[in-house]
Chains A and B, each alone.
Chain A
Amino acid sequence: MNRVLHNRFTIEKAGLLDTIQDLGRYGQQRSGINPCGAMDGYALQLANALVGNLLEEAGLELHFPASVFRAEHSMLIALAGADMDARLNGEPIPLLHPVKLKKNDLLQFAALRSGYRCYMAIEGGLYVSEEGYSSSTNLKAGYGGHEGRALKKADVLKAYESTDAFLPSGVLPWTVDPVFETTTDHVRIIPGHEWERLSSQQQQDLLQQNFIIDKRSDRMGCRLAGDPLILSKSEELVSSAVNFGTIQLLPDGSPIVLMADHQTTGGYPRIAHVIKADLSKLAQKKPGDPVRFKLVTQEEAESSFIRQQEYLLQLSKVCRLKLSHLDHKL
């Protein structure tokens, strides 16, 4: 079947840093190709679940102030992650609901009210060239996503024709609960290979202080400002692989959490790793926000991530059922 491409959005005004991201371009780190992908992959998946997409479908990652979008065609979207006071033709629309847009609708974001990054899923996904098995924008190398860069004014985003013709316009009456487990506000970590290089006092300092997200943080790394942790033994490390969530200790004693655009290898001490299930929490903190860590076991890290994925799959099924039910009713 030939699928028809439609124009979906025109960017009326550019935002600070809005890019197309999926869950990352894995499989080529052997060549130094950094995975990129959504900073908050959990929020992207929640948005995808709401519109009936595959969880790993590419969507838009928005930073405030976000772009202004003009709909060129009707479509079903959902927003998750940061609350940016989204307005549809001036009227507020909620996070975590499917919303059917009509042609010429104007979608804007008025204020950053909570969190830091907002994700928009579009039913059927966006049309992008999938270089290297992924739609993620690699800003450093300038490829993937929309022309390898952040969206700018007059960009037109395309998507395949979707099957949402029967849905009524506006906000659909169901939502999902973004909380998959009850936890504290702590960001959970597990020890890194050089954890033991910290004195027991420094380990306590890492766990007991309030770090502040530094303003130099970006999609590559989340820098933490606090009391410096200076290692007594400073043996240099030859470069080896690092991971999304790896906490490296820089020579000045400040920790940096490697995020989605991280380089594939590094040579600074890996004192700890943020667990996969809590990367979402960290990605929603903005410069100036406090962050506190909590040490957990490898098993807790693993089971928390598995629960998160199982929860998403469950939501995905429920949302698809709701959408198909609505199709039948009309």
Chain B
Amino acid sequence: MSETLLEVRNLSKHFGAIRALDNFDMTIHRGEVVALAGDNGAGKTTMIKTISGVFRPTSGEVILRGEPVSFSTPQEARDKGIETIYQDLALADNLSIGANIFLGREPMTKKWGFLPVLDRKTMREAARETMALLDFHVSRLDAPVSNFSGGQRQAVAIGRAVHWNAQILIMDEPTAALGVPEQRKVLSLIRQLKAQGRGIIFISHNLQDIFAVSDRIIVMRRGIKAGERAISETTHDEVVKLMIGG
């Protein structure tokens, strides 16, 4: 097996008496897609929020490339290369692709030698390069992202993570809001990210999508790990049984 990117040991998150996540373990390697499945309320979202710095774990360890880490904000996690792509697309619709990629970290340049202005050229170039890396060839780089289709917008969200060199991408239902051709496009993006050696945590309700791109699947039920299987050694039926606790 290749290098371990992220390891989670005995991770727990309790909200009062509710054990949203209880003694959870998982590892992700370079170039690996790990699917996280489970019914609503199984703890998937709590799990990713705990890894990505939104929640502080009640107990347990997160180990990133051999080093124990503890994030108090999503920004810290992002700085360490863990990027989350939310299902409701964290994009500002009125801004261009470049402006979205650089949102919150805008590059500046000097006009006439003294006046600091936004460096729109750098943003445009980065947008072009990043989108090309994801095999999206967009000609209108100054258009607001509201002009693009759902799949293209999802690609922009992924592109932002790629541009900032995220090594671990957490994708929460990336295909949920998309039409069928766009879903396929996003799945192919995931394969590309995998080929680039990144680690991907893929959350989905759609078993077909999970079986199409993942290497491993971890099934959660009521905050605990109900089972872990290599995709090549399991079936839809087995996964569903694990999910509902049959």
B and A form one assembly: no
